[in-house]
Amino acid sequence: MKRIIITVLIVIAAAAGYRFYSQKKQLSAPAYIPVTAARGEISDVVDTTGHIEPLNRVVVKPAVAGRVDKIIAEEGDKVKSGQVLAYLSSTDRVAILDAARAKGEEVLAKWENTYKPTPVLSPLDGTVIKRGVVKGETLDTSTEMFALADDLIVVAQVDEADIGRIKNGQRAVITLDAYPKDAFQGTVFQILREGVSVSNVITYSVKIRPDHVPSSFASEMSANIKVIITRKQKAVLLPVTALTDTEDGTRCVYKGSPQNPVLTPVKTGLDDGANVEILSGVEEGETIFSPGDGNMPQQAASDSSSPFMPSGPKRSGSGKTSGNPGPPPM
C-alpha cells in the first residue's frame, strides 16, 4: 500500500512539473507584434560634434600707447567698418591734460579742444565678441582692446573614417548643448585638409555656414552636427527592430501569421539606426511580424517528432525549419 501511495505521488509530481514546464515555455515564447511598412523620409548622416567660432576673428589694438578715455562699443554690439569703438589719449596727451588739469578747468578745456583724443575704429562689419579694456586703463600698443567677428560659423570635427563622405554643399542639422531643443540648418562650405591627432584618433575640421545665425549663438559653444550624406523621400520603411540578421548576414523579416511566422529575406537600403529602407521583399502597406520580446524562436530538432517540442518558424521557400538567427539588431 505504501509503495502504491509513493508511486501515485511521483506521478502527480511529474504531472505538475510538466504543467509548470509547459506554462513556462509558453510564457517565454516570443510574442509577435504586427508592423506595417509605410513610406517616409530616411537619411544617411555623419554624426559628429564641434563648436561655434568666428569665420574671421580680428583683434583691435591701439595705434598709440596711452590711456582709455571713453568706451563706446560693448560685447554683442553690431558695428560697421570705420565705426568708432573707443577713444584714447596718447601718452603725450595724457601728460599735457594732467598738467592742464592742475591749472584749472578753463586751461583743461582749452587743451582738450586743442589736442583731440585718438579714435579706435572698427576694421570691418561684424560683431564685438570681446572687450578687453576699461575706461581709465593705461595701454601699450600690444594690448587687445576688442575682438570682432564678421560671421559665426560651426566647425565640425570629422573622423578620418568619415571625411571621405563629406562634400561641399551638403546640408547639416545643428543643435547646441546650451539649447538642445532648437535645431538649425546649415551648409558645408569648406573642408580643411590638415588633420589633428587626439588620443590616436585623426579628425578633420569641416566648416558649416548656418542659414540663419540666431542671437543665441556665441563663440565656443559646443554643437552636435548631423551632416546629411543621402536623403530619400517616400522610401518604404520598417523599424530596425522588425528585421532579423541570419548567421550568413542575410536580412530577413517574419511574414505569414503570428502563429506560423515565415522567415523571409529582404533587400535593404539606408539605415538610420531607427528605421531601415526596404528595397524589395516587403511592399508599402504590407504587414510583417516583429518578435515582441527581442528573442528568436529556437530551432526544433530536425529528427524530433515529440509533440511536446515547439516547432520553429519556417523560412520562405525552403520547406525546412530555420536555424536560430540570433536576436534582432537594436
162 strand-pairing partners: none
Choose which CATH entry (3.40.50.11060, 1.10.630.10, 2.40.30.170, 2.60.40.10) describes domain 45-54+151-231. 2.40.30.170
**Ranges of each domain in the chain:** 45-54+151-231, 57-149
CA distances from 201 to 133, 161, 207, 208 (A): 40, 10, 19, 22
| pLDDT number for residue 90 | 93
| pLDDT number for residue 214 | 85
Please identify which residue in the block is written with the cell numbers 520580446.
293
Is residue 294's pLDDT more than 50? Answer: no
- Closest to 287 measured CA to CA, from 297, 296, 300, 278: 278
- Can you tell me the distance from the alpha carbon of 153 to that of 219, in angstroms, rounded to the nearest whole number? 9
**Cβ contact 233:41 at 8 Å:** yes
**Cβ contact 141:62 at 8 Å:** yes
Is residue 18's pLDDT more than 90? Answer: no
22 strand-pairing partners: none
pLDDT digits (tens, 9 = 90+) for 208-235: 999 998 888 888 999 999 999 999 999 9
Lowest-pLDDT range of 142-156, 208-222, 294-308? 294-308
Please identify which residue in the block is written with the cell numbers 592742475.
102
| pLDDT number for residue 131 | 94
**Cβ contact 31:292 at 8 Å:** yes
Is residue 14's pLDDT more than 70? Answer: no
Q: What number of CA atoms fall less than 13 Å from residue 314's CA on the CB side?
A: 9
Q: What is the mean pLDDT of residues 69-81?
A: 93
| pLDDT number for residue 13 | 57
Supply the DSSP symbol for 200: T
Choose which CATH entry (3.40.50.970, 3.40.50.2000, 2.40.50.100, 3.40.50.1360) describes domain 57-149. 2.40.50.100
Please identify which residue in the block is written with the cell numbers 509533440.
307
- Closest to 86 measured CA to CA, from 148, 43, 26: 148
Q: Report DSSP letters for 132-152, one per residue.
A: ---TT-EE-TT---EEEES-E
| pLDDT number for residue 215 | 81
Is residue 198's pLDDT more than 60? Answer: yes
Q: What is the mean pLDDT of residues 91-108?
A: 91
Is residue 318's pLDDT more than 60? Answer: no
| pLDDT number for residue 258 | 85
Is residue 329's pLDDT more than 50? Answer: no
pLDDT digits (tens, 9 = 90+) for 265-274: 999 999 988 9
Q: What is the dihedral of CA 81, 87, 93, 95, to 10 degrees?
A: -140
> How sure is the predictor about 10, in pLDDT bands with cuts at 50, 70 and 90?
low
What rounded mean pLDDT belongs to the chain?
Answer: 83
For residue 15, give every residue at least 6 positions away whose Cβ sits within 8 Å of its Cβ, in sequence order, or none.
none
For 273, the grid coordinates are 539606426
Amino acid identity, residue 329?
Answer: P
Lowest-pLDDT range of 75-84, 111-120, 265-274, 317-326? 317-326
- Closest to 131 measured CA to CA, from 144, 117, 142: 144
Amino acid identity, residue 82?
Answer: G
